[in-house]
Chain A
Amino acid sequence: MTLLDVENVHTYYGESHILEGVSLSVAASEVIALIGRNGVGKTTTLRTILQLTPPREGSVTFRGEDLQGLATNEVARRGIGWIPEERRIYSQLSVAENVRIAVPSDRDADAALKNAYETFPDLERFGDRDAGTLSGGQQQMLALARGLAGENDLLLVDEPSEGLAPRIVAAVADALAAAAEETTLLLVEQNLPLALDLADRFYLLDNGQVIDSGDTDEVRAEDERLRRHLSA
């Protein structure tokens, strides 16, 4: 069953035409990798889905409902979560508060926090500390914990391994694999082996357009089919 359908969207920043007719679809329980060089429109695609940067043309439908005209908070309440690039955790809130804010009511917050600490045990001992004092890897764990706490049907994950040490990247990959057991993921990732390992299918973006797509089983990170569009 198709969960998300992005159909021929054109998105602009001012007069800059960023997405030039992007189409993609995500089925329930799938993990989709959105890959491509820097600046080709991967993050903009996620922002377009969330209506943070609404498209001027085309449509985004979620469970058959057109998201056009909805505010971002309304899109989120329909079950789309976001783990943004550079994490964007609340540095002045405590670790526990960063998780609690993602849960719609205080009633469910304790359970969400317990789940977060079970998934990311390192976070528990920092629960009362300001999140801004955590290391980059811990902040990424917290961003994942916050994203998962919302219990969304679709999670948009933007560059989760960016700037992290290899040991932390492995932990992030494990966390994402665990998340994929429970929810659908649309993953933007420059780390190609990681993306292909996690994902069922991929879309390759270049200059604001989808230029290739397919099952990840069909390709390998070193294939010329991908490399010529990914190398700088």
Chain B
Amino acid sequence: MTFLLTVTIATEVVSLVSELSPLLASGFGLRSPAALAFFPDVTLVALGDALASFLQPVNLFDVFLNGLAKSALYVMIAVGLTLIFGLMGVLNFAHGSFTMIGAYLGGLILVLTVTGTTGGLARIGLFFVGVLVVFGVLAVLGGVLEISLIRPLYDRSPVYQILLTFGLTLVLDELVRIIVSLYGLQPISDWQNAFGTRPAFIARSLDFGPVDVPGLALFQIAFGVVTVGAVWAFLTRTRYGLIVRAGSEDAEMTEALGIDVRRVFTVVFALGAGIAGVAGVLLMWDPVWGASVPLAAETLLPAFVVVIVGGLGTFRGTVVAGILVGMVDAVMTWWFQNAISFTGLPQITIFLILVIVLIARPQGLFGVEGVGGH
């Protein structure tokens, strides 16, 4: 796992370094033209002005709202991953692929059903039809994959499960790439037709006096809150949730209480895949993400960061870490968009959070060594 994570993080770092190469070539000379091209406004005066601007209530509210929306997305992306790891101890590298498939499938349903005359509420209604269909399809796909491919590997070292799910993500990504290529959709850039199905009040900002609130951010926050509430209620208010929490802590003991833990594994894997797919439907309407094949890798990395920061396998930790990462991302995005013209740095800060948490508290914010649990 460490190796694969290292490879993926290293890929990100290489990408950032390539963006930084003009600056590196200048030897970080702050007075050099290359440095000034990257940090044109980095002077104490400019930083002071930026800080004053950042602290204005309108901007703080904007950053806070943006942070909540990002948090909702990060939690949505990561929650299925943490459920699966918490109970089964399986680090599912195919998780991002489930999100990507969900984005395409949700987009397909909306593109096929939404016309130019479809009203805003009807579009929202069709969105939720898409959510239900995607959840069902991805849950079935997840259940089938768990029974057919992952179950035979439970008695082996976790490396086998990691390699299997890593291979699975390559296969799923290539399959989707072939399908979207066959239908003439751009495999790399985001699927524009899917964006076009958004209702007007989600596509634009809503005017609340001095504050413009993006409709999409409000929708993402509401969706994230409902999802977190639903998963929390499932885990704490249902017998099946109790079984999942018990199984996460001690699967053998749970089995000895007469509970078929293998069947619970299948249900939880299906549930995790379904939620990942639903996250994809939500991302499909977001111009920052959108339905594309690379969405699989783009979502997998932050999902791992959130799950590791929160503590592997803890739902509570995932929610807190999602909010932490989302807020830090929003703050840094504001700073690097308004004070320092380098958009790659917010990504670095997410990984910095990961590094700091791993050094200070290796089991994560809410993790218990050797225990999953929710």
B260 engages A71 (CB within 8 Å): yes
B250 engages A90 (CB within 8 Å): yes
Chain B residues, CB < 8 A from A72: 252, 255-256
Does B261 have its Cβ within 8 Å of any Cβ on chain A? Answer: yes
Task: Provide the bound-state CA to CA distance between A91 and B245, in Å.
Answer: 11
Chain A residues, CB < 8 A from B245: 90, 92-93, 97
Chain A residues, CB < 8 A from B259: 73, 101
Does B246 have its Cβ within 8 Å of any Cβ on chain A? Answer: yes
Question: A79 → chain B, closest Cβ, in Å?
Answer: 9
B260 engages A73 (CB within 8 Å): yes
Tally of B interface residues using CB under 8 Å = 22
Contact with B along A127-164 (1 / 0, CB 8 A): 00000000000000000001000100000000000000
Are A73 and B239 also in contact (CB < 8 A) when A90-B249, A91-B249 are? Answer: no
Does A56 have its Cβ within 8 Å of any Cβ on chain B? Answer: no
Question: B311 → chain A, closest Cβ, in Å?
Answer: 12
Contact with A along B216-240 (1 / 0, CB 8 A): 0000000000000000000000010
B239 engages A106 (CB within 8 Å): yes
Chain B residues, CB < 8 A from A91: 249, 371
Tally of A interface residues using CB under 8 Å = 23
Does B343 have its Cβ within 8 Å of any Cβ on chain A? Answer: no
* Interfacial residues of chain A within 178-226, with CB under 8 A of chain B in the complex: none
* Interfacial residues of chain B within 349-374, with CB under 8 A of chain A in the complex: 368, 371, 373-374
Does A62 have its Cβ within 8 Å of any Cβ on chain B? Answer: no
* Interfacial residues of chain B within 239-254, with CB under 8 A of chain A in the complex: 239, 242-243, 245-246, 249-250, 252-254
Smallest CB gap from A106: residue in B: B239
Task: Provide the bound-state CA to CA distance between A205 and B262, in Å.
Answer: 34
Chain A residues, CB < 8 A from B256: 50, 52, 72-73, 76, 82, 84
Does A77 have its Cβ within 8 Å of any Cβ on chain B? Answer: yes
Are A73 and B261 also in contact (CB < 8 A) when A88-B253, A92-B373 are? Answer: yes
Chain A residues, CB < 8 A from B257: 73, 76, 101-102, 146, 150
Chain B residues, CB < 8 A from A90: 245-246, 249-250, 253
Contact with B along A166-185 (1 / 0, CB 8 A): 00000000000000000000
Are A101 and B249 also in contact (CB < 8 A) when A76-B258, A77-B258, A150-B257 are? Answer: no
Chain B residues, CB < 8 A from A42: none
Task: Provide the bound-state CA to CA distance between A93 and B261, in Å.
Answer: 17
Chain B residues, CB < 8 A from A121: none
A101 engages B254 (CB within 8 Å): yes
Are A101 and B252 also in contact (CB < 8 A) when A71-B260, A73-B258 are? Answer: no
Does A10 have its Cβ within 8 Å of any Cβ on chain B? Answer: no
Task: Provide the bound-state CA to CA distance between A134 and B100, in Å.
Answer: 45
Question: A51 → chain B, closest Cβ, in Å?
Answer: 10
Chain B residues, CB < 8 A from A104: 258
Chain A residues, CB < 8 A from B368: 92
Chain B residues, CB < 8 A from A76: 255-258
**Top 4 closest pairs, chain A to chain B, by CB:** A76-B258, A92-B373, A77-B258, A72-B255
Report which A residues bind B (CB closer than 8 A).
Answer: 50, 52, 71-73, 76-77, 82, 84, 88, 90-93, 97, 100-102, 104-106, 146, 150
Report which B residues bind A (CB closer than 8 A).
Answer: 239, 242-243, 245-246, 249-250, 252-262, 368, 371, 373-374
26 interchain pairs (CB within 8 A)? A52-B256, A71-B260, A72-B255, A72-B256, A73-B255, A73-B256, A73-B257, A73-B259, A76-B255, A82-B256, A84-B253, A84-B256, A90-B246, A91-B249, A91-B371, A92-B373, A92-B374, A93-B245, A93-B246, A93-B249, A97-B246, A101-B243, A101-B257, A104-B258, A105-B239, A150-B257
